[in-house]
Copies of this chain bind each other. A is one copy, B any other.
Amino acid sequence: MDPTRRHRIEGILATDFYQLTAAQAYWKQGLAGRRAQFDYFFRSYPDYGGHAAGYCIGAGLQWLLEWMHESSFDDEALSTLREHRNARGDRMFDDGFLEWLREHGDFSTTELLAVPEGRVVHANVPLVLARGPLAMLQVLETPLLMHLNYPTLVATKAARIRLAGAGGLFMEFGARRAHDRAAHAGARAALIGGADFSSNTGISFDLGLPPKGTHAHALVQAHLADGKTELDAFRAFAASQPDDCVLLVDTIDTLDSGVPNAIRVFEELRRDGHEPVGVRLDSGDLAHLAVRAAKMLDDAGFEKVAIVLSNQLDEAVIQQIREQITEEAPEHGMDADSVLGRLAYGVGTALITSQGHPALDGVYKLTALERDGAWQPVLKISESPEKIPTPGPKTVWRLYDPDGHAIVDLVATDDEDPLEHDPLRLHHATKEGVHRDLAASEVGQAERLLERVFADGASTLGDESIETMRQRRHDDLERLHAGVRRILHPHRYHVSLSHRMWELKTRLVEKISSGA
């Protein structure tokens, strides 16, 4: 697709049409430029068919900020809207509104406070506060959700897979099963959340990471079809990359053909001064085959050759494979830890599509409107009380216990120090009437989670590297209680409102319920 067309599809008009009609209605009311605040948050953790995550890893922000920097109602977008007519043939957008968009239709006066990428984040905690002209924040809703919901899902899944694999080398292999070009945002999120490398070449190079992979079955088949053998195919591959040689051993028969042929080629490589890297198992009983292959490799003197597993892996399958190896290795005279220690994981479909939970329920809600120069908290009236977003300007604190473990994410009003009270009263973020008290002595440290990430039309984060984000993820996961990190039925992390925020919300709910 040529860049002009790409820009038309993915630029400022990459939003739901109702954002534009709402913006015009605001404009007609003189509300388009009124400063507003929208909160982005998700309501529940992804649940992969029976087991919900205990935390998420935030991702996607940098690409959102780039989109905001580059997108505005330029001549092309304005002329598209000008020419747009309804079924009666009448124009749908007023010249006055289009004039307003020409002057104000960018994000130069929009400010974003957000939790940076790579951090552990929790349900019902505002992860982005967007502040700017009401009409532009409305236009921003769809692209913001598009840019944050999916990468957060994938980064979260990647963190879980990394945990399941106990830190073994983990590669993202999902491009072919991705939703179109989500392959790229997905690979990036996986690399933030837990994958060491990706097979997706372009995005890996873009992020400054080497792309990784093994080889395809087709390599062996092509050689067979050309009258050659699996051994010939392995030799050809080894000759092409003698120091990065991972051989796929299951095209014919893993134990009878693939591994023996691989060992032969590895011996030839070593004779020529190269160290082989690994074999890959892509079908059959991966746990059993890993034990058997490890034994064969050991016996041939290749104790350090990795065993890459692939084929429908996810965190639960990886855990089960590791359990089975622990049980089965001794039966074959192998030390389980030595087998487990050489495993690497190639994960495709389940990661890139967030199988079992393909959409994060991230939402973006109006929570404040400026009126007479001051923020007016806005409450979304909803049929279920637990769905009412926390109103008004706010600060998010993460409290740690004296051992450095995160114990609660606390949503407080903008102008309070939540630690000034002892004990500190914590109200459940969504369940009315549930609260608990925390003694000051139980709090070791308090950290503000939201940072200013966008102002004056550009990111204020600088060019953050993937490494920076990975470090955040690593540090945050270290500070999470093991029970919350757990893959199956994790312990619930606390998300609370400060007493003052709770009072504000309660007051507003009462005011609205009484029809005032």
A residues adjacent to B (C-beta < 8 A)? 1-3, 5-6, 8-11, 13-22, 24-29, 31, 34, 36, 38, 60, 63, 66-67, 70, 80, 84, 86-88, 90, 92, 134, 138, 141-142, 145-147, 149-151, 173, 175-186, 199-206, 210-219, 221-227, 233, 236-237, 239-241, 243-244, 251-252, 283-284, 349, 353-355, 358-359, 365-366, 368-369, 371, 376, 378-381, 383
Contact = CB atoms under 8 A, between A and B. Distances in A.
Contacts of A227: 371
Contacts of A86: 210, 241, 243-244
A502 to B, nearest CB: 20
A27 B218 CA distance: 14
Contacts of A222: 26, 31, 34, 36, 134, 366, 369, 378
B26 A142 contact: no
Contact of A175 (B1, B142, B179, B202): B142
10 tightest A-B contacts by CB?
A: A18-B213, A179-B182, A13-B202, A17-B211, A145-B176, A180-B185, A179-B179, A353-B358, A17-B213, A25-B240
Contacts of A202: 8-11, 13-15
Contacts of A27: 240
14 contacts: A15-B175, A17-B204, A17-B212, A24-B241, A34-B222, A34-B226, A138-B216, A138-B218, A142-B176, A142-B200, A149-B176, A179-B185, A224-B381, A349-B358
A274 to B, nearest CB: 9
B173 A181 contact: no
A146 B359 contact: no
B176 A16 contact: yes
Contacts of A5: 206
Contact of A21 (B14, B16, B150, B213): B213
A380 to B, nearest CB: 6
A459 to B, nearest CB: 12
B236 A147 contact: no
B366 A22 contact: no
Nearest to A88: B243
Contacts of A177: 145, 149, 359
A145 B141 CA distance: 30
A182 B154 CA distance: 14
B201 A14 contact: yes
A204 B70 CA distance: 21
Nearest to A214: B18
A378 B201 contact: no
B18 A199 contact: yes
Given A21-B213, A22-B215, A243-B86, A183 B353 contact: no
A221 B70 contact: no
A146 B184 CA distance: 11
A105 B267 CA distance: 34
Contacts of A203: 9, 14
Given A1-B70, A16-B213, A226 B176 contact: no
Contact of A180 (B13, B25, B147, B216): B147
A233 to B, nearest CB: 8
Given A31-B222, A202-B14, A179 B176 contact: no
A38 B216 CA distance: 13
A138 B221 CA distance: 12
Contact of A1 (B17, B63, B215): B63
B13 A201 contact: yes
Contacts of A176: 16, 141-142, 145-146, 149
Contact of A221 (B2, B182, B380): B380
